[in-house]
Amino acid sequence: MKTLVFERNLARFAASRLASNFGSGRAAGIGPLRLVEAEPPELPSTEWRRVTPRLSGICGSDLATLDGRSSRYFEHLVSFPFVPGHEVVGELETGARIVLEPVLGCATRALDPPCAACRRGMHGDCERTAFGRLAPGIQTGYCADTGGGWSHAGLVAHPSQLHPVPDSFSDEDAVMVEPVACACHAVCDAQLRGTETVAVLGAGTLGLAVVAALSALSASGRVPGAAAVLVGAKYSHQRRLAVELGATAAIGPDQLGRAVRRRSGSLALAEPRASAGPGPLTGGADVVFDCVGSSSSIAQSLEMVRPRGRVVLVGMPGRVHVDLAPLWQREVRLAGAYAYGTEVVGPPDGRPPDGRPVDGRPPDGGPAESVGTFALAFAVVAAHRLGRLVSATYPIDRFEEAIAHAGAAGRRGAVKIAFDLRGTRDRRAAPSGRQSTGGTP
Amino acid sequence: MRPLPFPFARPEWPASLPRPVPERRVGLDYDHAWSRRYAVRLARAMLLDNVTRPVARLVAPTTVRGAEVLTHVTPPVIFAANHASHLDTPLLLTTLPVRFRHRTVVAAAADYFFDRRWKAIVWSFSLAAVPIERARVNRRSADVAAALIEEGWNLVIFPEGGRSRDGWAQPFRGGAAYLARRTGRPVVPVHVRGTRHVLPRGGGPRMPRRSPVSVVFGSPLSPAEGEDARRFAARIERSVAVLADEASSDWWSARVRAARAATPSLRGPEVSAWRRAWALGPRPKDGRDAWPRV
Amino acid sequence: MTPRPGLVLEVDRSTPPTLFWHGERFVLERLPEGSRIVYAPEPLDPLEDPVGAIRHALLHPIGDRDPLPALLRPGMRLTICFDDVSLPLPPMRAPDVRQLVIEQVLEMAAAAGVDDVVLVAALALHRRMTEAELRHALGDRVYDAFAPLGLLTQHDAEDPDNLVHLGTTERGEDVEINRRAATSDLVVYVNINLVAMDGGHKSVATGLASYRSLRHHHNPRTMVHSRSFMDAPSSELHSSNWRMGRLIAESGIKVFQIETTLNTDTFPRQFAFLQRREWEWSVRDRAAFAATSAALERTPARLARQVFHSIRAPHALVSVQAGEVEAVHAVTTANVWRQQGVEVDGQTDILTMGLPYICPYNVNSIMNPVLVACLGLGYFFNLYRGRPLVREGGVVILHHPTPWEFHPGHHPSYIDFFEEVLSDTTDPVEMAKTYEESFATDPWYVHLYRTGHAYHGVHPFYMWYWCAHALDHLGRVIVVGGDPAAVRRMGFSPASRLDDALEMASDVVGRSPTLTHIHTPPLLMADVR
C-alpha cells in the first residue's frame, strides 16, 4: 500500500536543503521523502491498536524536516526510516473514529515506573522518548516502529494515544485537534490573568489556533484569557480569520509594533523609521506568542514585549541568530511551548461557548481541575468550527504539490493542508464537514 | 581569531616586578626642535605652498592689504594678530611674503594643540607650531620663544590668548609686548577679518563655509623708552583696531579717526550679548551662488 | 501692465485642455463643455521699496498704538514672535519677509538700547523648525545673533513651566499661552497673511497656545460652523479666537501686530506656465510644460519631491501694516481680497481641483493621504465667502496620487491615525469622542513633538476636523489617480480617470451636472453670489 517514507540519504538531504532556499516545500520531489509500497507496521504488543488514517495534516515541523532545516538536535530523537504524519484522524478496526495524540511517552514504551513527567501527565516532557521497547522517536510520525499518518498502510497506536471523535465532528474538525492542542498548551502555560495585552506574531495554523484558544477558553471560563489580542498577519485572509476567531485587531506584521505601542502607551527608543515599526519599545505587550520562529520574528517579539514580560515560542524554530541583549536588560522570559499533556485550568462554567469573554477572573477564583490538553482542544475546535481552516486536501500520490502548497500556504490564501487517505468507497460526507476534492481550496 | 602567543605578540610585564613609569613628553615638554631641521622645513614649505595655500584660498578668498609694509622690514619680527578661527594660522602663514613664510614659527596653546603626541607631531610639522602656556605667565615658554626669535625665526602670536567667543576681540595680553622688549625686535600688527564665518568656533568637525576674508598688515611697532609690557600691549591692540577700521572703511578715514583717538574698539560695545552680535553687521556676501536659484 | 483680475471662464469647444496639478506632476484634462474654470487674479505689482515700506509702517501704526520706537525703552522685556514654516507656500526666495521685518524691529530695539529680547517661533502644535528653515525665515544675521545665545526659541505647547493660564472667556474657553510672551512688556508679532484665515487675534491666541486652549476651537463643532474659515466674520473658529485675543489684551499683554501680504507670484520663471492661463501659453511655456512633464514621469518619486520642495517662490511684498491687532487685520484682509478675490456667480454641482505637492503641513516633507484630504476638503473647499462653490449634497473631485506614504519623523501620529482611527470611523465627531484624548496625551508623541521634528499627536485630528464642514456639506468625494486602498480608507471613492470620476459623480448629482474647476495655485478667494 502506498506510503510516504522519509529515509536517511545524505545526497537527497543536501539537495532538499539547497532547493528549500527557493521556497519552503519546493524540495519534496527531490528530497529524502519517497512514495513506496509498504506493509502495515507490526503491532508491538497485544494492547496496541491498528489505525487507518482518514486525514493527516502537514505541519510546519514536517515542512522544516523535509527542507532539511530542522535542528540537528532532533537527530537522536528520530529513527529512520519513518513515515511522517502526526496530525491524524483515523479509524480503528471497529470503525470508530479517533484522533491520535502522537507523543510516545513512557506508557507507549512499556517503561515502568514512568518518568517524573509522565507521572504528572505531562507526556510532552517525557524523558524517555529515545528509549524503551520502541525505536527512538518523540512522536508517531518520527519513529520507525509506529508508522505514521501519511500512508495508506496505516499506523499502530497505544491505547493511551487514542481519543474518540464525537459524531458531530467532521474529519476536518478532527484533524485540527492536534495543532489546536499545541496552542491550548501554550495558552495555558502562559498563565494569563485576564488583564494582559497579548500579541501574536504569525497567523498561520498555529497563530490562528492560539487566537481561537484564547477566545474559546476564556469564553468557557477555563482560562482567564487576555484583555486584548493583537495579531500580526501578513495576508488578508489570515487577518479576516483572526478577527473572526476573536482577535481584538489583526494588522500587518510591520504595523504590529505600532499597535502594541499605542495600546500599552509606551515610548519607543529609536528614531521613527519609514516602513519598519517603531523599533524597540520601552514598555509593550505582556505576552507575545511567536508562531513563526525565525530570527526576525524572535527579534521583533523581544522588541515589543514589556520588561519582565513573556515571549512564548509556539512553533518550532530552527537555528536562529538572536541578539539577546534586550532579553537580558528587560528581564524577559523566553519560553518554549511544545506539544501537550495535562493542564490545570478552571472548571467550565456551564455557559455555551458563544465567544463572550469572561471579565478577567483570576485563576484562584474557583476550584482548579486537571484536564488533558486534548480535551480542551476538542472544546476549542467545536466552539469555533475550526474544520474550516483545512483549506485543501490531496491524495498522497500528489505529495509534491501538497507539500509545495503547504510551504506557500499563506501566499496562496490557505491555512492548513492535509492528505486525504479515505478510499473512494467510504468517502462519506460527515455532518458540517467538507467534501474533500483533492487539491481544490 | 585567537590571540597570538609570545614571541609573536608583545609580552606582559610580570606582576611582581616594579614597572618604571614611561615618560610622555607632551604639552610644554614636547621637543619640537626636529621640526626646524632642514629636511623637515623643506617638506613643510612644499606642504604650505602646494596644499595649504590653494586650499585656504579656495575656502576663503583672501584680500591682502598692506603687504608692502613688509618689504622694508628685516626678519625676524613678531606678528601679532587678532584671533577668531582655527583658520587664522594657516591663512596668515600663507599670506606672509615668502621670505618670512618659511622661517616662521607659530605660538600655539600647549594645552590644546600639544596635549596628545600625535597632535603635537601634526601641528609642529605642518605649521611649525611651538607650545606656549596661555593661562599663566610661564618663564619657560617665554625663554623658548625668545631663544627662537634670537636664532632668527619670525614668530606669529595671538595676543588674545584664544579665539574670540562672540565675534569681538578679547583684551590683548602682554606676551607679544614682553618678547618684543626682551629681544628688541619689532611687532607687526595684523588684522584678520571674516575667518569666523568660514570656520566658526565651536561645534564638531564641519564643512568650512566659503566666505571672503581680508588680511591687513600694519607698520611695525617698537616699544618706546620706558614703556612697560602692558602699555605696549594696549598700543598693539589699538593699532590692530585701526587696521580693522581700515578694512571696513578705507585707509584715510581710519587714519583720521586714529588721530582723533576715535577708532572703534576691537572689543565691541559694552552692551548685552545680542546687541554685541547685532553690531557685528551682516555676513559678507560672496557674490557668487554655487548653484543657480530655481 | 496692470495685473488683470480673476476670471471665470466658460469652457467651450475651442478651449484648450486645462492644467491640473497632480501631486508632484501635472496633467492636462479636458473639461466638459459648459464647465466653468475659476482663474486667480494675476499677481499685483510689488512694493518698490519693501524695507522703506516696513519702516513706514512701524513708524505710522494703525489703531490705538504708538510708533514702535516710542514703545521701546531700555530695561524692558521684548518678545518677537513670528509665523512658522507653514507660511508662505511655497517658501519664498531670500530675503524672507519675516527677515526684513525683524531686522527693522531689531534695528529700532538696538537704537533704543533694549537688552532683553527673545525671538519665539509661534508654532502652536506644529513641528519645530530646523536650523536651515530658521535661517531661511530670519536671515543669517538674526539667526547668528540670537540662536547661539539661546534667545531664539520655538514655542513648546507641552512644557508646563512655559505656559501661563490667563483665564477663560465668557464662553468658558481656556486661554493658556506661552509664558515668555505673557510676561513681556511688549509682544511684536510678525505675520504673513497668505490666506484670509491667518492673522488678527489668531496669531497670538492660536500660535502661542497650548492644547488646552486650542481644543476649544479646533474641534468638529466649531469647524462645521465655520462657513468658511477663510471668511472671519462667518467663522466660528475666528469668533473663538477673537474672544481669546480680547482676553489676552485685557490681561495687560500689549501686542504690536505687524501683518504683511504677498502677491501671488508663486512660481519662478522656469515654471511660469503654472500660473498662466492655458490659451496664453507662449511657445516657451508649452515647451517647458512638455519637457517638465516628460522629465517628471521618468523621475523617481523621492527625487521629484526633492526638486519640488526646493522651489522658492518669487512672492513679493504688497502691503505691510502695523499697530493694534484688530485695526491692522481689517486693512490686511482688504489687501488679501484685493489680490485674491474673484467674483463667482452661483454654486455648482461638481467642484474639481488639482492638488499640488505642498500644503502648510508638509513643507520639506511627504504629503500623506490625510494631508491630501485636508488640502482639498479643508483649504481649497473653503476658499469662499458667502456660499460654498459647490452646492449642498454636491460632489468634489480631487486630483492627487495620494501615496500611502508617511514621513515617520514629521508625521508619526498620522500613521497610527490612518491605521487605527480611520479604519474604525471617518466621522469627526466619533473620532473626537473615542480617540482624540489618547492621541493628545500619548507620551511618545509628546516626546517627539518636544524633542524631535514631529507634529503634535493630536494634529492629524485637526486635519480631519478641517474637512468637517466639507464632509457635512457634500454628497460624495472622489479622488482621481489616487491609491485606491488609501482613498477608500478615508471614506472616499477612487477613480482612475476624470471621465470615470464624472460618471461616478452623476450617480449623486444627476445626468447633466454643472461643473466648476478652481485653477489654484496661485491662490484665489471666491466671492460666491
pLDDT digits (tens, 9 = 90+) for A201-213: 999 999 999 999 9
Q: Chain B residue closest to C312 (CA)? A: B294
Least Cα distance to B149 among B120, B125, B184 occurs for B184
Q: In sequence order, what are the beta bridge partners of A308?
A: none
Q: Residue A171 — very low, low, confident or very high, per pLDDT cuts 50/70/90? A: very high
Every domain of chain C and the residues it spans = 7-43+340-528, 50-262
What integer is the mean pLDDT of A225-253?
A: 92
DSSP C363-429: TTS---HHHHHIIIIIIITT-EESS-SEEEEEEEEEE----S---TTT-HHHHHIIIIITTT---HH
Q: In sequence order, what are the beta bridge partners of A198?
A: A229, A287
A278 pLDDT above the threshold of 90: no
More confident residue, C493 or A107: C493
More confident residue, C492 or A62: C492
A153 pLDDT above the threshold of 50: yes
What confidence tens digit (pLDDT) does each residue in A279-329 have? 888 989 999 999 998 899 999 999 999 999 999 999 888 888 999 999 999
Q: Given CB atoms, is C113 within the 8 Å cutoff of chain B?
A: yes
Q: Which pLDDT score is estimated for A23?
A: 73
Which residues, including other chains, have CB under 8 Å from residue A54's CB and lie 6 or more apart?
A89, A90, A91, A97, A171, A420, A421, A422
Residues of C in contact with A259 (CB under 8 A): 416, 419-420
Residues B229, B235: Cα–Cα separation, whole Å: 10
* Residue C419 to residue A251, Cβ atoms within 8 A: yes
What integer is the mean pLDDT of A166-177?
A: 93
Every domain of chain A and the residues it spans = 2-165+387-436, 189-353
* Residue C412 to residue A272, Cβ atoms within 8 A: yes
Q: Which pLDDT score is estimated for B72?
A: 85
For chain B, 294 residues long, give each residue's pLDDT as a single digit of tens.
788 888 888 888 888 888 888 777 888 888 888 989 999 999 999 999 999 999 999 999 998 988 888 888 888 999 999 999 999 999 999 999 988 999 999 999 888 888 888 989 999 999 999 998 887 778 888 899 999 999 999 999 999 988 988 889 989 988 899 999 999 999 999 999 989 888 888 766 778 888 899 999 999 999 888 888 889 999 999 999 999 988 888 888 888 888 888 888 888 888 888 888 888 877 776 645 455 555
C425 pLDDT above the threshold of 90: yes
Which residues in B have their CB inside 8 Å of a CB on C? 202, 271-275, 277-283, 293-294
Q: Chain A residue closest to C447 (CA)? A: A267
Least Cα distance to A147 among A135, A156, A138, A158 occurs for A156
Q: Chain C residue closest to A275 (CA)? A: C408
Fold of domain A2-165+387-436:
Quinone Oxidoreductase; Chain A, domain 1 (3.90.180)
Q: Which pLDDT score is estimated for C45?
A: 92
* Residue A265 to residue C415, Cβ atoms within 8 A: no
Residues of B in contact with C295 (CB under 8 A): none
Helix/strand/coil (H/E/C) assignment for every residue in A288-343: EEECCCCHHHHHHHHHHEEEEEEEEECCCCCCCCCCCHHHHHCCCEEEECCCCCEE
- Closest approach of C265 to chain A, Cα-based (Å): 35
What integer is the mean pLDDT of C215-240?
A: 91
Q: Which pLDDT score is estimated for A359?
A: 44
C208 pLDDT above the threshold of 90: yes
What confidence tens digit (pLDDT) does each residue in C294-350 have? 999 899 988 999 999 999 999 999 999 999 999 999 999 999 999 999 999 999 999
Which residues, including other chains, have CB under 8 Å from residue C137's CB and lie 6 or more apart?
C82, C85, C96, C98, C99, C129
Could you tell me which CATH class the domain C50-262 is placed in?
A: alpha beta
| Out of C408, C409, C420, closest to residue A262 by CB | C420
Residues C321, C257: Cα–Cα separation, whole Å: 8
Q: Count of alpha carbons within 13 Å of C529, Cβ hemisphere only?
A: 5
* Residue C444 to residue A267, Cβ atoms within 8 A: yes
Q: Which pLDDT score is estimated for A358?
A: 43
Q: Chain C residue closest to A260 (CA)? A: C416
Q: Chain C residue closest to A283 (CA)? A: C444
Runs of H (alpha helix) within C26-164 = 50-59, 68-71, 97-112, 131-138, 140-146
Q: Which of A130-144, A160-174, C445-459 has the lowest mean pLDDT?
A: A130-144
In this prediction, what percent of chain A has a pLDDT beyond 70? 90
Range A189-353: architecture per CATH: 3-Layer(aba) Sandwich (3.40)
C233 neighbors C164 (Cβ within 8 angstroms): no
Burial label for C512, CB within 10 Å (0-12, 13-18, 19+), is exposed
Q: Given CB atoms, is A304 within the 8 Å cutoff of chain C?
A: no
Range C7-43+340-528: architecture per CATH: Alpha-Beta Complex (3.90)
Q: How much is the mean pLDDT over chain A? A: 85
The domain B30-196+209-279 is classified under which CATH number: 3.10.20, 2.60.40, 3.40.1130, 3.30.2420?
3.40.1130
Q: Which pLDDT score is estimated for B272?
A: 86
* Residue C419 to residue A265, Cβ atoms within 8 A: no
- Closest approach of A181 to chain C, Cα-based (Å): 33
Q: Residue C246 — φ and ψ, nearest 5°?
A: -70, -35
Indicate the DSSP class of residue C1.
Answer: -
The grid coordinates listed for C516 are: 466648476
Residues of A in contact with C443 (CB under 8 A): 265-267
Residues A337, A210: Cα–Cα separation, whole Å: 12
Q: Which pLDDT score is estimated for A351?
A: 42
Q: Which pLDDT score is estimated for C327?
A: 94
C512 pLDDT above the threshold of 60: yes
DSSP A66-129: HTT-S-GGGGGG--SSB----EEEEE-TTS-EEEE--B--TTTTT-SSPPHHHHTT-GGG-S-T
A366 pLDDT above the threshold of 90: no
Global model pTM greater than 0.90: no
* Residue B271 to residue C311, Cβ atoms within 8 A: no
ipTM attached to this prediction = 0.82
Q: Angle at which helices B38-47 and B117-127 pack, to 10 degrees?
A: 80
What integer is the mean pLDDT of A231-241?
A: 93
Q: Which of A285-289, B261-265, C357-361, C372-376 has the lowest mean pLDDT?
A: B261-265
What confidence tens digit (pLDDT) does each residue in B14-57 have? 888 888 887 778 888 888 889 899 999 999 999 999 999 999 99
Burial label for B98, CB within 10 Å (0-12, 13-18, 19+), is exposed
* Residue A274 to residue C448, Cβ atoms within 8 A: no
Q: Residue C266 — φ and ψ, nearest 5°?
A: -90, -30
Indicate the DSSP class of residue B50.
Answer: I
Neighbours of chain C (3+ CB pairs under 8 A): A, B
Residues of B in contact with C116 (CB under 8 A): 272
- Closest approach of C312 to chain B, Cα-based (Å): 7
- Closest approach of B293 to chain C, Cα-based (Å): 8
B13 neighbors B74 (Cβ within 8 angstroms): no
